[in-house]
């Protein structure tokens, strides 16, 4: 297969972890006889510095032309401490999601047996956890009308959803559930919000198309609790943008392996893969960041192109590196800490 | 002191746990020479059955006339499974909050040394946790304009905040922080929402009035993570209604003692105290529910009337009951399980 992949390394540790995913992907291409063309493009603070905005048109054109995007991380402390900054790296993220139509964010949370004791939760609570949150990513209060009134003394944001937006996300949820345990949980706040009532009635109406899927409906506050209490009681969850933002982050820390969690964001055509960790500026340039989340994001990429063996080969080599202690300092526990680049080299060689 | 307290037992286990808080409060009144007049009033499903709505005008009049309200729980499964129900118990809750002007929900999360192993978190993560979330309770997306368009195919909800609403909540937060460790965390989503930017700028402007308070600003998604990772790194937190709904529930389970967590909701004048657990219909009428959260809510009530010794006497007797194993079946761990009413009697006798 021939794959054109746009490479958006972004800020902080982005470039370093992306490099390792490229090494590993190239090793996969070689072994399985594929051809990958990488096209780098600017994003985030790096793009603001170069051309004045975080998701330049040129970058968008490269992403649109590609079969998929591999993304590092964006965000820079310089902007966090400067409320007067007119252009912010995060705006690039939102613009990219919207312009590429990446309406579904796929966020798995799973455990690595060898890392289970890193979880803040007790072993018996976290063991066996393997869930996926599908977060709607291009609608809701993120993209609704907002503004000020009364000379700036009143602020408002609007959460809007259409039935079609709910349907396309829910469809992905039902389909994903069919490939797994056939359990789907719709997370909303239908006891208060009209948009949540639309979500719930839309999903309810779709149930009959997927008679094998057992659907449950839970309020977001209850889910925020149960994710901490019994995360292993969940499988596929679907939810709107803001609830998804909060719950995916909550879910990401319960496994204790946040540095290892990959993600995908997909649209009708576009596909983007990125680690869920941030740009971690303190570690930038030090060759110490853990590249595994980005490498596992590349595995998700291959899988979405039906290259299942290739994806599995990546997961296997990652597990092997964990078992053999070829890990960065965050996981080394007093043993030898390998550099980011060393881990990448080892993985590529062991493919 | 003479106190007039409206007694809203509500649904499910509400009446049973309320009874124990009344016993304990009466014992306090006797010991410290106060006079308490209790005025029962209908709310929740019980009120729907009796008069067709969950927060009747008569109940409101009783609450308004009282010095404080002691509240049990509302909610009944009959309504959860009936989407056609036009009147729902939860509406009573929202109406009550609004009509009584209960703009600040005070939700402590703390640990009991003897119960720490009930937490889903590892001991070293949860030990020492003692935080309070102040949730804005009468504004935001709960009370903004909402509705449908496009023949019902588009739904919207509006989150609105005024500077004055933020100020009165934040003021409580600063004042509370001054009585504790002088650390205040403002939780928002200012990287996306205009209403959050209003929150942040309003709180920032108030910082100079409380020079001793160290204020931090965190995004709600980051807080959802850190609450699980390092809950003991927080002290006083302030946030808007919906974020507060999610985060207070998440926080409530980390201590492992959800059945013991009290809460207060206060306005300019009105004061309401309630356990944070729900109506727990499966246990209703069985005399098995844990009354301690309601009893500790009564302690918050006394404290708010500056009856600090009285509040401490309640906390002391609760700790004594835990130490001596005078507990309901949820805490009995194979030892003797006392009835709800027996625990209440024991507490009242030991005041
Ligand atoms: C940076 C921010 C705008 C973004 C979001 O809220 O979507 C981030 O938290 C995420 O989840 O990718
Ligand atoms: C029942 C519901 C409307 C309510 C809320 O969301 O405020 C509840 O979850 C709470 O937190 O008291």
Q: Do B155 and A195 touch (CB under 8 A)?
A: yes
Q: What is the pTM of this model?
A: 0.96
Residues of A in contact with B193 (CB under 8 A): 141, 146, 157
B192 lines ligand 1 (CB under 6 A): yes
B245 lines ligand 2 (CB under 6 A): yes
Domain edges within chain A: 1-102+267-351, 110-256
Q: Let me know: does A150 contact B194? Beta carbons within 8 Å.
A: no
Residues of B in contact with A252 (CB under 8 A): 225
Residue nearest to atom 12 of ligand 2 (CA): B245
Q: Kindly give the distance from the C-alpha atom of residue B27 to the centroid of ligand 2, in angstroms, as a whole number.
A: 32
A245 labeled binding residue: yes
Q: Which residues of chain B have pLDDT under 70?
A: 80-84
Residues of B in contact with A120 (CB under 8 A): 121-122, 125, 228-229
Q: Residue B83: what pLDDT? A: 60
Determine the number of helices (DSSP H) and then strands (DSSP E) in chain A: 14, 12
Q: Let me know: does B6 contact B63? Beta carbons within 8 Å.
A: yes
A191 lines ligand 2 (CB under 6 A): yes
Closest chain A residue to B167, measured at CA: A153
Active site residues of B: 142, 189, 221, 245, 249
Of A197, A229, A252, the CB nearest to B253: A229
Orientation angle between helical segments A340-349 and A14-32, nearest 10 degrees: 10
Q: Do A249 and B162 touch (CB under 8 A)?
A: no
Buried-state track B40-49, b at ≥16 Cβ within 10 A, e below 16: ebbbbbbbbe
Q: Architecture of B111-252 per CATH?
A: 3-Layer(aba) Sandwich (3.40)
Per-residue pLDDT tens digits for A22-61: 999 999 999 999 999 999 999 999 899 999 999 999 999 9
Superfamily of domain A110-256, CATH level 4: Isopropylmalate Dehydrogenase (3.40.718.10)
Q: Architecture of B1-102+267-351 per CATH?
A: 3-Layer(aba) Sandwich (3.40)
Residue A121 gets which letter from DSSP? B
Per-residue pLDDT tens digits for B4-27: 999 999 999 999 999 999 999 999
Q: Let me know: does B66 contact B267? Beta carbons within 8 Å.
A: no
Check for a shared fold between A1-102+267-351 and A110-256: yes
Q: Which residues of chain A have pLDDT under 70?
A: 80-84
Residue nearest to atom 8 of ligand 2 (CA): B245
Tokens representing B304 are 């708010």
A245 lines ligand 1 (CB under 6 A): yes
Tell me which ligand sits closest to the C-alpha of residue A242.
1
Q: Residue B91: what pLDDT? A: 87
Q: Kindly give the distance from the C-alpha atom of residue A93 to the centroid of ligand 1, in angstroms, as a whole number.
A: 8
Q: Identify the residue whose tokens are 């004791």.
A: A117
């Amino acid at each position: 297969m021939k794959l054109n992949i746009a490479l958006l390394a972004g800020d902080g540790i982005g470039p370093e972890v992306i490099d390792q995913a490229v090494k590993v992907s190239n090793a996969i291409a070689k072994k399985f006889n594929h051809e990958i063309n990488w096209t780098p493009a600017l994003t985030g603070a790096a793009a603001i510095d170069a051309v004045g905005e975080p998701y330049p048109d040129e970058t968008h054109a490269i992403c649109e032309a590609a079969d998929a995007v591999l993304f590092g991380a964006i965000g820079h402390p310089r902007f966090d401490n400067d409320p007067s900054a007119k252009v912010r790296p995060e705006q690039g993220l939102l613009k990219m999601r919207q312009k590429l139509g990446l309406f579904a964010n796929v966020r798995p949370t799973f455990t690595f047996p060898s890392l289970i004791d890193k979880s803040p939760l007790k072993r018996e609570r976290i063991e066996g956890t393997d869930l996926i949150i599908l977060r709607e990513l291009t609608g809701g209060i993120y993209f609704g009308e907002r503004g000020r009134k009364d000379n700036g003394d009143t602020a408002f944001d609007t959460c809007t959803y259409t039935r079609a937006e709910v349907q396309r996300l829910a469809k992905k949820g039902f389909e994903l559930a069919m490939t797994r345990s056939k359990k789907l949980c719709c997370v909303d706040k239908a006891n208060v919000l009209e948009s949540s009532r639309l979500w719930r009635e839309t999903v309810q109406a779709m149930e009959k198309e997927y008679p094998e899927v057992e659907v449950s409906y839970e309020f977001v506050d209850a889910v925020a609790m149960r994710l901490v209490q019994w995360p292993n009681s969940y499988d596929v969850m679907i939810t709107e943008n803001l609830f998804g933002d909060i719950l995916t982050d909550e879910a990401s820390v319960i496994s204790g392996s946040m540095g290892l969690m990959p993600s995908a964001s997909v649209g009708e055509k576009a596909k983007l893969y990125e680690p869920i960790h941030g740009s971690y500026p303190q570690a930038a340039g030090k060759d110490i960041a853990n590249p595994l989340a980005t490498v596992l994001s590349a595995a998700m990429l291959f899988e979405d192109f039906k290259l299942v063996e290739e994806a599995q080969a990546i997961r296997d080599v990652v597990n092997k590196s964990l078992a053999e202690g070829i890990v960065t300092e965050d996981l080394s526990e007093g043993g030898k800490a390998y550099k980011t680049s060393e881990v990448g080299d080892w993985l590529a060689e062991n493919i």
